[in-house]
Amino acid sequence: MTESLNRTDRDIAAAASLLRDGKLVAFGTETVYGLGADATNALAVAAIFEAKGRPLFNPLICHYESAEAAFADVLASPLAERLADTFWPGPLTLVLPRLKTCPVALLAGAGLETLAIRVPAHPVAQRLIAALGRPVAAPSANRSGGISPTTAAHVLASLEGRIAAIIDSGPCRVGLESTVLDLSGPAPVLLRPGGVNLEALEASIGCKLSAISHQPQAPHSPGMMRSHYAPRLPLRINATSIQPNEALLAFGPPIPGARLTFQLSARENLNEAASKLFEGLHWLDNTAPAHALTAIAAMPIPTHAVGRAITDRLSRAATPFDN
Ligand code: TXA
Ligand code: MG
């Protein structure tokens, strides 16, 4: 049984106490729902991998209450501190070398010498981490390879019965995972485009960021595996026409003739589209079969600002899940 909790002080304290006991609690962040465990408890962290069916080589993000707390566990740099000043709390994850004194379980970082850290902006996430008084390791709260959850209902649909509790934190504002930036090497590397505006990030760093290419065999950042975020139905991207068996994921004026449409943003607003992307994929995946539709066609999305993260997720979702 998965317990449903609310945002009251009492329920947040109950959730923190479950985490302290090594249990798993899903909670809202501004990006997507996270599946949280006490990051310093290796058994609890192992339970995350088990509940998600996640490969052990794919490391987790550690969520902190403040930049100060986060930087106590890693070797920060002036650039890291500047980016934290500008983008935290918020949808930016920084990968930095972990310190010898870092209390986070090695399994959370999949045994790597680096650690991914983030200070989330959502009040529920902040209150939960503060109540626990330790970092919270949290991947997206879905079964591995599935679509990330942006509502409590999405979380329950894939993890009900596998986790101790969920805090209903409302729909996620950003709707896409955080931007992951590797600062552990000589130059910053964008491991995953995400909720932060890319041009704003580049302006802050002072150079253009090139995304690393997909590496399905030995992924530098395992979340970069091509087949990620996949709906069950096959997905065709950059569609400018519709087939009789397809449901439509629309951006702007829909392609005429679609029998079932989910509109990401009628006014072609990229932030609105990002916030609805996973909701749309979940909805089409669940609704299309009742209309005898067997595939999803997604209209083209511009690739500037958060559009780059949207097209990144769609192209991964379009690659058949093969493991
Ligand atoms: O918005 C988000 O980032 C959400 C919320 C819950 O914070 N979390 C999330 O976690 O998306 P997850 O586990 O689904 O994605 C974490 C990504 C993965 O691509 C993982 O490979 C990468 O971060 N990552 C984590 N630690 C890393 C490290 N030390 N080096 C390189 N990549 C790392
Ligand atoms: Mg994920």
Residue by residue, DSSP assigns 225-243 as -SS-S--SS-EE-S-SS--
CATH assignment of the domain containing 306 = 3.40.50.11030
Does position 128 have pLDDT exceeding 80, yes or no? yes
Per-residue pLDDT of 136-147, as tens digits, reads 999 999 998 889
Per-residue pLDDT of 277-294, as tens digits, reads 988 998 999 999 999 999
Instruction: Verify that 261 and 194 share a domain, yes or no.
Output: no
Instruction: Verify that 51 and 166 share a domain, yes or no.
Output: yes
* pLDDT, mean over the chain: 92
Q: Which two tokens stand for residue 141?
A: 């709260």
Instruction: Verify that 241 and 207 share a domain, yes or no.
Output: no
Does the beta carbon of 116 lie inside 6 Å of ligand 1? yes
Question: 229, 212, 230: which is closest to 221 by C-alpha?
Answer: 212
Whether the upstream peptide bond of residue 120 has omega within 30° of 0, thus cis, is: no
Mean pLDDT of all residues in 32-45: 96
CB atoms within 10 A of CB 79: 15
pLDDT of residue 160: 96
Does position 222 have pLDDT exceeding 70, yes or no? no
Mean pLDDT of all residues in 124-151: 96
Query: Which residues are within 5 Å of ligand 2 (an ion), measured at CB?
Result: 140
The single residue listed with the structure tokens 């994921």 is 249
pLDDT confidence of 219, banded at 50, 70, 90?
very low
Does position 310 have pLDDT exceeding 60, yes or no? yes
Mean pLDDT of all residues in 86-94: 98
Does the beta carbon of 191 lie inside 6 Å of ligand 1? yes
Does position 82 have pLDDT exceeding 60, yes or no? yes
Report which protein residue has its CA nearest ligand 1's atom 5.
Answer: 34
pLDDT confidence of 32, banded at 50, 70, 90?
very high
Ligand 1 centroid to residue 131 C-alpha, Å: 23
Q: What is the dihedral of CA 89, 93, 94, 98, to 10 degrees?
A: 100
Task: Tell me the residue ranges of DSSP E strands in the chain.
Answer: 3-5, 25-27, 34-38, 61-63, 92-97, 114-118, 136-137, 165-167, 179-182, 189-192, 235-236, 246-250, 261-263, 295-298
Q: Is 159 inside a domain boundary? A: yes
Range of the domain at 160: 3-211
Does position 224 have pLDDT exceeding 60, yes or no? no
Instruction: Verify that 190 and 300 share a domain, yes or no.
Output: no
**Residue at a domain's end among 175, 195, 211:** 211
The distance of Cα 225 from the centroid of its chain, to the nearest Å, equals 14
Q: Which two tokens stand for residue 116?
A: 């991914």
Q: Is 176 inside a domain boundary? A: yes
Nearest bound ligand to CA 228? Answer: 2
Q: Which two tokens stand for residue 69?
A: 């707390």
pLDDT of residue 214: 46
Instruction: Verify that 37 and 167 share a domain, yes or no.
Output: yes
pTM: 0.87
Does the beta carbon of 169 lie inside 6 Å of ligand 1? no
Ligand 2 centroid to residue 69 C-alpha, Å: 24
pLDDT of residue 209: 87
Q: How open is the CA angle 154-158-162, to the nearest 5 degrees?
A: 125
Say how many domains are in the chain: 2
pLDDT of residue 184: 95
Does the beta carbon of 61 lie inside 6 Å of ligand 1? yes
Ligand 1 centroid to residue 95 C-alpha, Å: 9
Q: Is 224 inside a domain boundary? A: no
Instruction: Verify that 254 and 194 share a domain, yes or no.
Output: no
> What percent of the chain lies above the pLDDT cut of 70?
93
Per-residue pLDDT of 4-24, as tens digits, reads 999 999 999 999 999 999 999
Per-residue pLDDT of 167-183, as tens digits, reads 999 999 999 999 999 99
Nearest bound ligand to CA 31? Answer: 1
Does position 322 have pLDDT exceeding 50, yes or no? no
- Ligand 1, pocket-test mutation among 30, 31, 58, 61, most atoms within 8 A of CB: 61
- Interhelix angle for 9-20 vs 123-132, to 10°? 50
User: Is the separation of the CB atoms in 73 and 170 below 8 Å?
Assistant: no
Does position 212 have pLDDT exceeding 70, yes or no? no
Q: Which two tokens stand for residue 147?
A: 């679509």
Q: Is 226 inside a domain boundary? A: no
CATH assignment of the domain containing 46 = 3.90.870.10
Does the beta carbon of 314 lie inside 6 Å of ligand 1? no
- The three-class DSSP label of residue 150 is coil
Q: Is 225 inside a domain boundary? A: no
